[in-house]
Amino acid sequence: MKKVLVTGGSRGIGKAITEKFLEHGYEVTAPTRLELDLLDSESIEKYVQAHKEDGFDIIVNNAGINDIHEIENITDEEIERMIATNLVAPIKLLRGFTGSMKQKKYGRIVNIGSIWAVVSKGGRCVYSATKNGIHGVTNTLAVELAADNILVNTVCPGFTMTELTVKNNTPEEIAQISANIPMQRMAKPEEIAEVVYFLCSEQNTYLTGQKITVDGGYTER
């Protein structure tokens, strides 16, 4: 049975990814913040050491923070939080677990990016930088790890109908956003999860180093 690590797996897209793997019989670990605090280097190191021997066959770096501020208003703390969570923590986890993948000659890694790494919008300077950065990690590791049968890809979701979307937007705002998407609706979390699952499944034997945007055509307008 393949072992899967999903960060940020308790809600939204991460929850849908976790459920998709469970549905197909995978052993899934989706650590809580108490088990793995991505803002705490010591917590990351303890987690890696506790799981390093067996490691994981599949890693989905899904957890992320998006603090929206125009450049002159963003604080040092917000900059550091986003960079630590969205970029540094995934790198540290991959540093810790790719060794066991190389020993097995098998691994699948998906880094969750964003449409704001494809196009951008005001207030997302640091967030866009981190999501472009995580695809840089994808590009490099796709080349570095290919000979060991480890495939690495980025999935960039567009607007997705998660609990957080519903909480932070009125029905009118959701309708306005949806009207700007060629498909005329937001993605379902399960639709993002399907793409992630395919990239990590036995069906994917060759696709690596790619940035796959799942946005209903939003970035192609």
In three-state secondary structure terms, 75 is: coil
pLDDT in the model for residue 46: 98
pLDDT more than 90, % of the chain: 93
pLDDT in the model for residue 167: 84
Measured between alpha carbons, how far is 175 from 134 in angstroms, rounded to an integer?
A: 30
Q: What is the average pLDDT value for the chain, to the nearest integer?
A: 96
Where does 3-159+188-215 sit in CATH, by number? 3.40.50.720
Measured between alpha carbons, how far is 193 from 155 in angstroms, rounded to an integer?
A: 10
**Active-site residues: which are they?**
127
Structure confidence by residue, pLDDT tens digits, 133-177: 999 999 999 999 999 999 999 999 999 999 889 888 899 999 999
- Residue 221 banded pLDDT, cuts 50, 70, 90: confident
Torsion angle of the four alpha carbons 69, 71, 75, 76, in this order, in degrees rounded to the nearest 10: 130
In three-state secondary structure terms, 5 is: strand
In three-state secondary structure terms, 216 is: coil
pLDDT in the model for residue 120: 84
Domain ranges in the chain?
3-159+188-215
Pick from 61, 57, 81, 52: nearest CA to 8: 61
pLDDT over 90 (residue 88): yes
pLDDT over 90 (residue 118): yes
- Residue 179 banded pLDDT, cuts 50, 70, 90: very high
pLDDT over 90 (residue 121): no
Measured between alpha carbons, how far is 138 from 31 in angstroms, rounded to an integer?
A: 22
